[in-house]
Structure 1
Amino acid sequence: MSPHTFDTLAGLRRAVRGICEAHLLPSHNGARLLLSVSRMAAAAFDSGAPVRLEAVEQTAPGGKTLLAVTLHAGRTPASPSTADLPLPGQATTEGAVAWHLPLGEGEDPPPAPLPAPRGAAPARVREMAGAEAYEAEIAALEGDLGVALSRVDTLSTELHRLKDELAETNSGVLALYVQLEERDEQLRRAHGQILRELEDALRPPPITVGGVDLAVHYAPADPDAPTGGDFYDWLLLPDGTVHITVVDALGHGVRSTRSALNVTHAVRTLALEGHPLESIVARTHDILAPFDPELMATVLLARIHPETGALRLANGSHPPALVVRADGTSDYLEVRGRGIGFPLPGSESVLEDTLHQGDLLMLYTDGLTESRRDPIEGEARLVKSAQAHARRPVREIPGAVAEDMHTVILHPDDTLALAVRRAENPQGGHPLARQP
């Protein structure tokens, strides 16, 4: 609008409201502008001087459109500070006050005109009979509006402060959470490493026997909790026969590890005492049941004579051994029996066979063949994998077979794979066993 001169506060207010409506100012900005202009002009009107108001749209350097409202009211001792106004203004060199408000932000609908006091008469009647009362009520309304805006400013400041504090708190909590996660991961790794070292210490060291090559692979269901109930033992008996025990104790964790160790130690003791192979599973049950009535474990026992290749197997509910012949044929060596902790424990018989030069014997736990929850399908895949890797160095076979079998894992479980291959005894005569 072009500059207009006003000599009454009412006319000035109407003009300011018109400016707010014409330029679609948000309601909170329009209310603050109205109060600020009224307070600056009131001092001039009280001294009997008119004021001049102008409004023009401007383009800021960033391309943003601003509404510049300038009030020429002069300065009197009663004039308020421009910084203390509801909408702080900028004093110009000509003694005027200017406000610059952004346009086009779409924050709020345009402000509604200030309501007239209840029972207000038309303008001509007010001017003739109640102008002073009307102005007093308007002043009161402006005062109430000023208080409300001040309260809004206070609450807005408090809200920003709380948001900042909340952001800092959230940042601190997030940082603490990250630290706790890192610490927890470190503890899990350290715990797992300790358990791995402990379990490795509990497993028997490798033995070297002329005429027989042996290797083993073990993988826990949970790498961070490597203890489990899948154990093995191998030793050389006084008659030169290699004895191998494979155990799968029910459950996971330290308790199953203890159970599996108890089984392997009992079997080792009975084997060294010379008990018949067919009686060892039942005798192991008789020894351990009074001390651990909840113990349940499957057991597979193998005896191999390095010179002749004579093979004897006893079984207690364990998956059958797999033999892959040097000519590529294969067969599962089934022996009926019930495990330790089962009803009527013991091996029903002893299977006798012969490992010829180049034959591969695979002993394992069910975690190898039941990772896809179908033991029959798993046994078929084990045959193919063992045949594919049978000519590799024995030390590579158990790990390579386990990798083939675990390309898809639907049922994670501890896994043990042990490979034995009959080889020619380079020294001849009685095989010797030594610790590496």
Structure 2
Amino acid sequence: MSILKLALKSSTVQSIRQLSGSSGSDVVVVSALRTPIGSFRGSLSQLSAAQMATQVIKALISQSSVKPEQIDEVIMGHILTHGGGQHPTRQAVINSGLPSATVTSTVNKLCASGMKSLMLASGLLSLKQANIMIAGGMESMSNVPFILKRGDTNYGHTQLYDALLSDGLMDAFHNIHMGNCGENTAKKYGITREDQDKFAIGSYEKSAAAAKAGLFDKERISVTVPDRKSGTKTISDDEEYHKVDFNKIGSLKSVFQKDGTITAANSSKLNDGAAACILMRSETAKDHGLKPLIRIVDYADNELDPIDFPVAPVGAIKKLLSRNGINKDDVKMWEINEAFSVVPLAHIKMLELDANKVNIHGGAVALGHPVAASGTRIVAHLAHTLKSGEYGIAAICNGGGGSSAMLVQAV
């Protein structure tokens, strides 16, 4: 390579780094919160997705100096809206005390919905179409109804369809459960049942240790839930990671295929929860006397064949690293959503990542996966865990072969 080409290459990388460096127009996250994560039909099942999001939005406003009328727009990811009432994001906005003039939108990008909402908000802020925004995700998997298809009620018996499966967990192209796609990935990349069980045990152990050390306290709020005996009760802890029985993990049968590798223990669960962030440009944060947690450096989507959705984030991550002149070793923390244990394991293998930097405080296998909220949750965890100057990448796959990933830097 000639000296001129080397100089141009160096100049390009430097320009990219300058572009992603600190400036008054950087989009930053100044607050990031989530509810505890409830088990299926568990501690949060009395709340709709909108009701959980309402409590998160109230907490965001309460903990910041931002006034309700200063929020220009709210974007929330939500997949399984069935039976939740008209425009769940609008419900959350109005019921949290924000003005009726607040613009609201709901995003459905399956499991990546909560991250995509952050990406959309960041783009609007970069274009200066808004000054202050709230973005996140919400899901009550416990309250997804069964569907009776219109026109199927002829004489005799009829069939109910579980919307949780049909609109959330089934691949629409091959008519197979997402877990079968995970099995395909495990076979393709030589990831064994033992590998996945070991990873799952680690996820539970790391989540429990992090909770004990108070590492989720800054990101997690307490939620008020209706209670028949006392009127209301307060839920403050994640529910799922307490329920593991390590003695049974090795003996569980595979769920999706007779001789498969994916079990109830080494995959994420059905869960309830909501998460959201306040985003603005750094100059706006300075005007309000707010200290940013992270700046959003860049974000990317990637799509491939639907059956390969578990590894779709690999392409999104490569785009982020290449565009910003960052080596994977420069990334301090990786939050790769644990839809199944095979997902982060495949990423570690394909990207040759340091496993000690991946999901260092556990993930969805242990904490739970309230699908549309998880993309926001993993970004929020980076926001509260990274130290000043450190880079982190959050990545999440979604059904249909898609994914989203976000590169952030602690301020």
TM over 0.5: no
TM norm structure 2: 0.21
Whose relative contact order is higher, 1 or 2, with alpha carbons under 8 Å and at least 6 apart? Answer: 2
